[in-house]
Chain A
Amino acid sequence: MSARALTFRAAALILLVAFITAPQLFAFVFKPLTVNDAPAIYNHGSLLALTLSHLRTVFLATLASTVLAVGLGIFVTRPSGSEFLPLSRSLVNIGQTFPPVAVLAIAVPLVGFGEKPTFIALFLYGLLPIFENTLAGLSEVPPQALEAAKGMGMNARQRLLQVELPLALPVILAGIRLSVIIGLGTATIGSTVAAKGLGEVIIAGLQSNNVAFVLQGGLVVALLAVLIHDGMGIAERAVAKRLGRPVDEVA
């Protein structure tokens, strides 16, 4: 990573942290956007608390989807689960035509308002990319590597834990990253169903016709997503490098 790219990221991170912890310092930027002396900075709650609860929802939901999706991915690539493999692949394709908002919207009448429908939507939708990439990663393991592992006397469990999963890890991580990014967006929309999160700022701005709120909410969510996406990408490349595999640059 070049020095310039590093300073750029560091600057973006510092800006984000500064804005979330002390938004009043930036009031002068947003003041020109307001009319009728409306507040320039979101004043119904602390941005820090909203950010933390936003991140907590995304983290917990992604953790749950990762456990289930990787487990399912392992199951359908074993001989005992092979009858589910063709259907799994089509389901992944079909599932992706389902908009994340739809999952959220259907969950509301079933479980009520608040964190619950958001968590369910994030969890369900987050399964897809992770499951797809677990399938792809596990089926891309070179047969020679498996043969070699078998030749060394490893049993199925050892092959899975010591050969297949490590080799598939970068691809699985890419799936988790995609899930997290989709989750950040869906959690933002979750504010329409009263989940605590950064979407609240945008929604409040839309309802009170305060462009300053809309813009600051949008910028914080955008910066957060870009930085997390970037950070996870760096972690993926580090893992891939340790495995000595060629690295796919962002394409």
Chain B
Amino acid sequence: MSSLRPHLSLDRLGSVIAVLIGVALFASPFVVYRANRIVAGEGRMLTAALPPAGALGIILTGIGVALCAALLRNPLPRLAAAILGLATVVPIVGWSATFVTPLGNTFARVSPGLGFWLLALAFALLAADALTRLRLGPWVRLAAIAVAAGAIALLLLSGAWNDLSLLKEYANRADSFWQEARQHVWLAFGSMAASCLVGLPLGILAYRVRRLRAAILQILNIVQTVPSIALFGILIAPLGYLATHVPLAAALGIRGIGAAPAFIALFLYSLLPVVANTITGLNQVPAAVTDAARGMGLSPRQRLWQVELPLALPVILAGIRIALVQNIGLATVAALIGGGGFGTFVFQGIGQTAIDLVLLGTLPTVALSFATAIVFDAIIDLTRRGPT
């Protein structure tokens, strides 16, 4: 395809990316310096943020990637350029933090600036575009996300980022960070598991009994429409009543405010995608297949377990993926009602206008839901191709 075009034509998307890189390199601060963690910051351009060798390295890498993006059309070299760019800029911003912080000053904070974020965005866009065009198989995507996770873990463990404000916020809260992380995962994945236990049978029932179907879906639709914090609020009143009047409930840790209303709300939210997709998946099983199964003498129960559910599996998994990603995001709101999770840092950060604390809550949430989405998409593809 590329051989049919003149060799040096400009790629439109690549040109936009090249412009982004240009703005990032020459017109935006690479890092932001603050004298302490909450005062307003001052931007430092590349040349002031790094020793000459480092600044030159980033400028050359940026220009190289920009040229690749604008001139090359083959996705493979574009992907390689994007990865090289990320692998250069991401560790170097940590070096820049060390360089900018005055020696021995423990109050000063350095955060990545607009220039860093624009560079990262430009490289990530280029990588995303190349990956989309390459149409990788599910195993390759799983391997890629594993490598990316490993690289991030290596970066964080190596200490290269330790002088960045984000990691200083983390260092102050290392214990509570992992506690909130467990709480977040428990809220999002635990409520999802509960919702599968209830939602799958409910979906099968709604598929079998037509009269129930519309009613169940309508109720779940209404639940899905209610904004999260409103649903938390509505649940607080009855749960509080339960806690004060039923000793057993209080003994189980159920209180009006806290994780219980959040868990129940997330459970209710995830029911709709699970139930709706179970019904759709079962509906899509071709009649010829069920007829054949019946002809082979399979009982209704055997048909369900050996024929219908396996064929409906990819659609059901797609529902679980939607619900999980939604849950991981909504679990951040749980912190408002004392339910814990990464939202704790987000709302503390908002209260203190400390953007790095906000990021300490936001980045893990986004990473978790992003990884979940990729892993589930790959599993769904695998079950689609799997043995039938």
CB pair A225–B12 under 8 Å, yes or no, is no
Chain B interfacial residues counted at CB < 8 A: 56
CB pair B234–A222 under 8 Å, yes or no, is yes
Taking CB atoms, residues of chain B closer than 8 Å to A192 are 336, 347, 350
Taking CB atoms, residues of chain B closer than 8 Å to A109 are 349, 353-355, 358
Given contacts A99-B329, A106-B355, A188-B229, contact A93 B366 (CB under 8 A): no
CB-CB contacts of B115-129 with A at 8 A, as 1s and 0s? 000000000010011
B interface residues with partner A (beta carbon < 8 Å): 11-13, 125, 128-129, 131-133, 217-218, 221-222, 225-234, 236-237, 240, 256-257, 276, 280, 325, 328-330, 332-333, 336-337, 343, 346-347, 349-350, 353-355, 358-359, 361-362, 365-366, 369-370, 372-373
* A–B complex contacts, Cβ < 8 Å, 10 sampled: A98-B369, A100-B329, A102-B362, A105-B349, A109-B353, A109-B358, A186-B227, A215-B234, A222-B225, A226-B222
A17 to chain B, nearest CB (A): 18
Chain A interfacial residues counted at CB < 8 A: 50
For the complex of A and B, 7 pairs with smallest distance between CB atoms? A218-B233, A99-B329, A185-B227, A109-B355, A221-B230, A218-B230, A218-B234
CB pair A98–B226 under 8 Å, yes or no, is no
CA distance A221 to B225 in the complex (A): 10
CA distance A91 to B225 in the complex (A): 24
CA distance A86 to B135 in the complex (A): 11
CB pair A102–B332 under 8 Å, yes or no, is yes
B224 (CB) vs chain A CBs: closest residue: A181
CA distance A222 to B265 in the complex (A): 13
CB pair A101–B343 under 8 Å, yes or no, is yes
CB-CB contacts of A115-154 with B at 8 A, as 1s and 0s? 0000000000000000000000000000000000000000
A32 (CB) vs chain B CBs: closest residue: B241
Taking CB atoms, residues of chain B closer than 8 Å to A89 are 132
Given contacts A93-B373, A229-B225, contact A202 B361 (CB under 8 A): no
Main secondary structure of the interface of B (DSSP, over half): helix
Taking CB atoms, residues of chain A closer than 8 Å to B361 are 105
CB pair A102–B366 under 8 Å, yes or no, is yes
CA distance A97 to B370 in the complex (A): 6
CB pair B346–A214 under 8 Å, yes or no, is no
New A-B contacts (10) at CB < 8 Å, excluding given A87-B129, A205-B233: A102-B329, A105-B350, A105-B361, A214-B233, A214-B236, A215-B237, A221-B227, A221-B233, A222-B231, A225-B226
B347 (CB) vs chain A CBs: closest residue: A192
Given contacts A105-B349, A105-B361, contact A189 B217 (CB under 8 A): no
A113 (CB) vs chain B CBs: closest residue: B353
Given contacts A90-B128, A91-B128, contact A99 B369 (CB under 8 A): yes
